[in-house]
Amino acid sequence: MALDYNALLNPSQAAAVLQTEGPCMIIAGAGSGKTRVLTYRIAHLLEKGVDPFNILALTFTNKAAKEMRARIEKVVGPNAKNLWMGTFHSVFAKILRSEADKIGFPRSFTIYDTQDSRTLVSQIVKELELDDKLYKASTVLGRISAAKNKLVSVAQYLNDPVIRQDDEAALRPKIGVIYQQYQQRCFKAGAMDFDDLLYQTNVLFRDHPDVLNKYQNKFRYVMVDEYQDTNYSQYLITRKLAAKERNICVVGDDAQSIYAFRGADISNILNFEKDYPELNVFKLEQNYRSTKNIVWAANSVIKNNQEQLRKNVFSENEDGNLIEVIKAASDNEEGKLVAQSIYEDKMNQRLSYDDFAILYRTNAQSRAMEESLRKLNVRYKIVGGLSFYQRKEIKDLVAYLRLTVNPNDEQALRRVINYPKRGIGDTTISKLINVAEESNHTLWEVVSNADQFMPARVSNPVVGFAEKIKSYTVVAAKEDAFEAAKFIAKNSGMIEELYADKSIEGLSRYENIQELLNGVKEYVDDPEREDKSLGAFLQDIALVTDSDVKDAAQEGEAVTMMTIHSAKGLEFRNVYIVGLEENLFPSQMMITSRADLEEERRLFYVAITRAEKKLTLSYATSRYQWGNLRSCEKSRFLDEIDPQFLNVKFAAGPAEREQPFQHVFERRSNLVAAPPRKTVATKYVAPADFKPSDTTNLQAGQRVEHPKFGFGQVATIEKQQGTVKAIIQFEEVGEKTLLLSFAKLRVL
């Protein structure tokens, strides 16, 4: 029985679902149900009789793909399992596994993660005798990644005068040479990095029209989620695949384009109509997630961007709470006030800590928040820390597994050739590497025949290591991924070595190896997995994204802390956006051009729209930077929020008002309710002879005078991390917490 989409969806959503033929763009505002629309759109195609093998759906996380597939399966049944659905990298890695030999790579190619790539770049920098401080691996890799995302080959890079001038101006004229050697070494090792999965797919489609034609005929319907986050390489692949049938549907929101630093190009969505003049455009403007006040506040911010596809996002939810703004004297006080607010709301409203999220512009801001949460015994988890697959012992065992599948994987070979120790020292390894370079052989070829290049006493352990790897390859060819991994973990000596370490750290590393093997077992036992080989498992974990990793240590009720970039696509009942100060948010690096500033504003918009019921914004008037306390100015973004959506409560009457941002809500620094504040009709005016005193020895109980707040009595003095704060009960404006290094006080 066909589904009645007009009954299941709002008019805009239904129209987008039912328009299956020709190019289509769905502009999906925050919380507008785009996953629901994509789900039903694919279900509708399947209902019409389209073969699921002919549908390609591309997402940006494995989690999103898995969620969508599960939803589609609920609607149409097991037929959904046959869809080509996944991240750009996982889908095109799958295609490259079938076609890699056409561009000179083995089908068992290794996928290098960021750490592998950095290690290789560092080795090349060292071999070229370049300054590793100037040629930092992360900096060089960023430049190489940007080139690949724009499909700039090594030859083009080396011959482009503009690129050359840029590198010379940055005092890094050898980046082109490093890029060249990096690509040569990857090719020789039968390895691709993440960017190569897209770059090499473009090369494959460019140089082999027959292969392109094969996949154009296969994928009659192409759908792309989060299209605003695509880079040039992704844009070109999808455009080529859809060129024949022109049944391409892209879904996204230009107002949530926040990944320019990764190569995302907002012009892909802004200019989509230029590629497809016959384009059908649908706007999903009803926000089902947030209260009206949150939606209206977000709209008042994003309207300041010039480069955008105009839409009118609205909500039919309740008005909800006004947005609170916390103004703190320092970053430590900001952390204290935020932690206190979470604690109070959790207790008073009987919420779970899972209902709360703290979002910040940079990871470094988590420190003050963490300290304050710990003091109140508030459990929290940080998203974006060291992932399970980046831990040393996991990297070590995975290197053995990779080497088993692809013996030419030089990075894996270097990592484990002498781990656990087997008498192959650095001198021997250097000799092996030199022989490989001079003879133009792979390192594995030299290691396998070490007895031909060095004396027996030195070569014996090397040959013994090679024999081990060969035996693992035999086992992996016969057994599934779990049996092979278990055999390798035991036979390599890793399990024995880690078990022998009885320290807490050693026990943790041993348990992590067990957990990895558990993960391999789960992979093999999954009935939906057709390929249960070790190679298939390695590809699966190589393509895990940050948002797909669930750390067991973070299970249980907890406040979520993360950067705003990591929060994209998530939602929480109560959200705190902290550190809203100029040069922090917007970032100092992003205020030199309108395009950069508009990206920062989009980032703020994304942060606001993560909140469902309550949104709190905070900033500090002083913050530590490199050990020095600096005064801060509130973010321009706060001034862009229409004041009617903010908590209309003055901190201290007209004396405290700031134009145009007037509504500042200050909270006490403890859990005791603040006494009622008196209304001040006129601003306190200090006498003409007012002169601040030396407050070095200020004591609790002393009376003081402040040029703005008037007379008061010192309640307590707090010393913390080199700063001294005075909590003062003023007669007219109530309690204030002042940093003595900034406060102007006359001791009476």
Q: Which of 31-35, 234-238, 387-391, 597-601 has the lowest mean pLDDT?
A: 387-391
- Name residue, tokens 């003409």: 688
- Model confidence at 674, pLDDT cuts 50, 70, 90, reads very low
CA atoms within 13 A on the CB side of 393: 22
Per the structure block, which two tokens stand in for 688?
């003409």
Q: Is it the case that residue 239 has pLDDT exceeding 60?
A: yes
Q: pLDDT tens digits, residue range 717-748?
A: 887 655 678 888 888 777 887 777 767 888 88
What mean pLDDT do residues 19-42 have?
A: 91
Active-site residue, from 256, 365, 560, 702: 256
Q: Is the pTM of this model over 0.85?
A: no
Rg from Cα positions in the chain: 30
Task: Count Cα atoms within 13 angstroms, Cβ side, for 116.
Answer: 25
Fold designation for 314-379+556-647: Rossmann fold (3.40.50)
Q: How confident is the model at residue 436 (pLDDT cuts 50, 70, 90)?
A: confident
Q: Where in the chain is the domain with CATH 3.40.50.300?
A: 5-90+208-284, 314-379+556-647
Residue type, 444: W
Out of 19, 20, 35, 716, pick the active-site residue.
Answer: 35
Query: Between 363 and 290, where is the model more confident?
Result: 290
Q: Is 226 a catalytic residue?
A: yes
Structure tokens at 399: 């290197």
Q: What is the mean pLDDT of residues 251-269?
A: 88
What does the pLDDT look like over 532-577, one tens digit per residue? Answer: 999 999 988 887 654 554 443 445 689 999 999 989 889 999 999 9
Res. 671: pLDDT tops 60: no
User: Which residues are annotated binding-site positions?
Assistant: 28-35
Exposed, middle or buried by CB within 10 Å (0-12, 13-18, 19+), for 711? middle
Residue 616 backbone dihedrals phi, psi, to 5 degrees: -125, 130
Q: Which CATH class is domain 110-189?
A: mainly alpha
Catalytic residue among 226, 355, 410, 480: 226
> What count of residues does the chain have?
748
Omega before 23 within 30 of 0, i.e. cis: no
Q: Can 34 be counted among the known catalytic residues?
A: yes
Active-site residue, 256 included: yes
Share of the chain above pLDDT 90, in %: 49
The per-residue pLDDT for 649 is: 39
If one counts every other C-beta atom within 10 angstroms of the C-beta of residue 120, the result is 24
Q: Cite the annotated binding site for ATP by residue number.
A: 28-35
pLDDT (0 to 100) of residue 627: 54
Q: How high is the pLDDT of residue 732?
A: 79
Comparison of pLDDT for 628 and 483, the residue scoring more: 483
Q: Give the pLDDT score at 545.
A: 54
- pLDDT digit string (tens) for 482-534? 999 999 999 999 988 888 877 777 777 888 888 888 888 888 888 878 889 99
Mean pLDDT of the residues in the chain = 86
The mean pLDDT of 686-712, rounded to a whole number, is 83
pLDDT score of 250: 94
- Per-residue tokens: 390: 């980046």
Is a pLDDT exceeding 60 seen at residue 657?
no
Report the pLDDT averaged over residues 678-682: 40
Distance CA 61, CA 543 (A): 9
CATH superfamily of 390-539: PCRA; domain 4 (1.10.486.10)
Identified catalytic residue from 99, 113, 116, 225: 225
Give yes or no for residue 663 having a pLDDT over 60.
no
Distance, in Å, from the CA atom of 55 to the CA atom of 48, rounded to the nearest integer, reads 13
DSSP 676: P
Q: Provide the pLDDT confidence category of residue 70 given band limits of 50, 70 and 90.
A: confident
Instruction: Name the percent of the chain lying above pLDDT 70.
Output: 91
User: Each residue of 574-593: pLDDT tens digit?
Assistant: 999 999 999 889 988 888 88
Query: Average pLDDT of 204-212?
Result: 95
Burial class of residue 273, CB neighbours in 10 A (0-12, 13-18, 19+): middle
pLDDT digits (tens, 9 = 90+) for 166-177: 999 989 999 999
Is 225 catalytic? The answer is yes
User: What pLDDT does residue 722 have?
Assistant: 59
The active-site residue out of 34, 289, 414, 736 is 34
Pinpoint the residues of the chain covered by CATH 1.10.10: 110-189
Tell me the CATH number of domain 5-90+208-284, given options 3.40.50.300, 3.40.630.30, 3.60.15.10, 3.40.50.10860.
Answer: 3.40.50.300
- Whole-angstrom CA distances from 341 to 158, 324, 571, 668 are 56, 11, 19, 10
CATH number of the domain located at residue range(s) 680-747 in this protein = 2.40.10
> Going by DSSP bridges, is the β-strand pair 734-739/723-730 parallel, antiparallel, or unpaired?
antiparallel
38 phi, psi to nearest 5 deg: -60, -45
The single residue of 143, 283, 381, 610 carrying the catalytic annotation is 610
